[in-house]
Amino acid sequence: MENKKFFKCAIFDFDGVIIDTEKYHHKAWHAAFAYFGIEFTWNDYVPLKSTGRKFIISYIEKRENRIFSESEKRTIEKIKDEVYTDCFKDISENDFTNGVIDFLEFLLSKNIKTGVASSSRNAKDLIDKFNLGKYFNVVIDGTNVACPKKPNPDIFIEVARRLNMNNYDCVVFEDSYAGFEAAIAGGFDLITIGELHSDSALLAIDDFTDIQDRRNFLIANDF
């Protein structure tokens, strides 16, 4: 970290950052659109992560030059939910992002405040399923703010508010273009994780093993 900036708080998106659930979300969307004979590839899905179902359906409408009826939209959402719910039971610790537990243990040991800012309604269920609650001081999902969908920054701002932290003292870990935009719009510093990157990020990592030798940048005080 050339600028030697230190942080007092780490805020995490959940899907694709803490646990690799994105492949299951894609599988569910793929099945939902396949019902109508529409192909929805991984490359289609990646730029749309964290934008929300309305945006994704609208994207397909524009791409396919068609308008889904309200009944068809309900069918798409129903299939998506059913397939993801079926996948949910198969999510295991093998789906954890590499190095994430070690990194969370490190933050816990240093008393660094942490929060989850996830547009997903499933984040809290997965945190409970894997007993991850001890690692996060606050968990905010799509039910806690009026405008939870990224690139709106409200969900990150709410985490910082509940932690009584200034936005500029927090670093956000994100894996989606919409999340990158939300973090920057909210005045947060950004670390990207995974295959997508942002020119505005302080650092780009493939997973948390890439930050092992640089993780002390988070420590604002010598605990």
Residue 197 lies inside a defined structural domain of this protein: yes
Instruction: Please give the structure tokens belonging to residue 126.
Output: 């997965």
Same domain, yes or no: 35 and 16: no
The residue among 101, 201, 104, 119 whose CA lies nearest residue 158 is 119
Q: What is the pLDDT along the chain (223 residues), one digit of tens a residue?
A: 445 567 899 999 999 999 999 899 999 999 999 999 999 999 999 989 888 889 999 999 999 999 999 999 999 999 999 999 999 889 999 999 999 999 999 999 988 999 999 988 788 999 999 999 999 999 998 788 888 788 999 999 999 999 999 999 999 999 999 999 999 999 999 999 999 999 999 999 999 998 877 776 666 653 2
> How many angstroms separate the most distant Cα atoms in the chain?
58
Residue 191 lies inside a defined structural domain of this protein: yes
* Full-model pTM: 0.88
**By residue range, what is the domain housing residue 140?**
9-20+94-218
Boundary residue ending a domain (68, 88, 108): 88
Same domain, yes or no: 100 and 206: yes
Identify the CATH number of the domain in which residue 154 sits: 3.40.50.1000
Same domain, yes or no: 111 and 213: yes
Boundary residue ending a domain (57, 73, 88): 88
What is the CA angle 128-136-112, rounded to 5?
Answer: 160
Instruction: Please give the structure tokens belonging to residue 21.
Output: 């659930």
Boundary residue ending a domain (63, 88, 113): 88
Residue 223 lies inside a defined structural domain of this protein: no
What's the sign of the alpha-carbon dihedral 212, 214, 218, 222?
Answer: positive
Phi, psi (degrees; rounded to nearest 5) at 80: -60, -45
Say which residues have a Cβ less than 8 Å from residue 110's Cβ, sequence separation at least 6: 218, 219, 223
Three-class DSSP category at 138: strand
The residue among 179, 199, 177, 175 whose CA lies nearest residue 188 is 179
Contact yes or no for 217/6 (Cβ under 8 A) = yes
Same domain, yes or no: 52 and 101: no
Identify the CATH number of the domain in which residue 69 sits: 1.10.150
DSSP string, 65-80: T----HHHHHHHHHHH
Residue 201 lies inside a defined structural domain of this protein: yes
Residue 3 lies inside a defined structural domain of this protein: no
Residue 2 lies inside a defined structural domain of this protein: no
- Number of independent structural domains in the chain: 2
**How far apart, in Å, are the Cα atoms of 34 and each of 14, 65, 220?**
27, 16, 49
In 26-177, DSSP assigns E strands to: 113-117, 138-140, 170-174
What's the pLDDT score for residue 148? 79
Same domain, yes or no: 70 and 168: no
The number of CA neighbours under 13 Å toward the Cβ of 169 is 15
